[in-house]
Copies of this chain bind each other. A is one copy, B any other.
């Protein structure tokens, strides 16, 4: 299959470029009318690490690669702009699969209003998809980094956690021995979807940043790991109450089948792509409303204090044990 013909075919399944894209795919580089601040990030998903083609469709992979990159823009509060897609396709990957991969990304691009501005397609030994995204803002006050937390602030999280990790355990067979009765069919499907098709919370991220979140991060590695990053960047201590972690429906059953404490499982499982936010006390109501307006909800599960690092506290007020048993990537 000639690479150029494949690139043309891929281009045909991408959404039409918007007006701000002065030059799109097909030239040496894309040209975009910029806004004052460019916000950019790159993310790679690799076969055998982030997905298996036995459990993920090519479209799932395309979706997931773009979603994980967009989630970084969400965590900054940036407006989505453009994406560049680079595919490494194994020799036995069909043209049809390559187009399905592109379609998975294209559908999410259309949903989120991001323009696919260019890409690269090469052959290689395993499927790898790398996505670089650029978002935009008009001023720094619209954006939110990891380093802005202050002592006395509340720590919250959007949505529910652990669903993607539970989905992965169902997909890779670790939780396959669990009783079917323990999990409703719709919950089972939803857990798989959480792992295969994460949703970047762009609208929530923008609103939370605009309405006063002091620090934000997307939960890619898991609450415990990512909260540590905010603590380190802000030079403070984050204390999180495990009993307040919102556990995604069906996740309790999967965690129990794996012999794990559900809240610990939810706090350490990766790939949820929910947002962790820090809120000054006087912004709590505004941020709750912002989350609601974006179709999600905030759960407050801890606070920022002086010190360093992360403290996960269980019901008895003691530091939690049994963490770190899940591999982060």
Contacts and interface: CB of A to CB of B under 8 A. Distances in A.
A72 interface: yes
A47 B124 contact: yes
A9 interface: no
Contact of A46 (B125, B137, B146): B125
Contact of A29 (B76, B122, B147): B76
Contact of A37 (B22, B82, B88, B123): B22
Contacts of A329: 3, 122-123
B88 A44 contact: yes
Contacts of A120: 42-44, 130
Contacts of A38: 31-32, 34, 38, 134
B28 A41 contact: yes
B76 A40 contact: no
A100 interface: no
Which DSSP category, helix, strand, loop or mixed, fits chain A's interface? strand
A39 interface: yes
A27 B147 CA distance: 8
Interface in A57-91: 72-73, 75-76, 78, 82, 84-88
B33 A37 contact: yes
Contacts of A35: 34
Contact of A41 (B30, B75, B146): B30
Contacts of A143: 31
Interface in A83-139: 84-88, 117-120, 122-126, 128, 130, 132-137
16 contacts: A3-B328, A3-B329, A28-B146, A28-B218, A29-B133, A42-B118, A42-B130, A44-B86, A44-B120, A46-B122, A49-B124, A86-B130, A123-B329, A125-B125, A126-B126, A132-B132
Pairs of residues from A and B, 5 with the lowest C-beta to C-beta distance, nearest first: A132-B132, A46-B124, A42-B84, A29-B41, A125-B126
Given A32-B37, A32-B38, A34-B37, 5 more contacts: A28-B146, A29-B135, A49-B124, A124-B126, A130-B130
Interface of A: 3, 22-23, 26-50, 72-73, 75-76, 78, 82, 84-88, 117-120, 122-126, 128, 130, 132-137, 140, 143, 145-147, 216-218, 233, 328-329
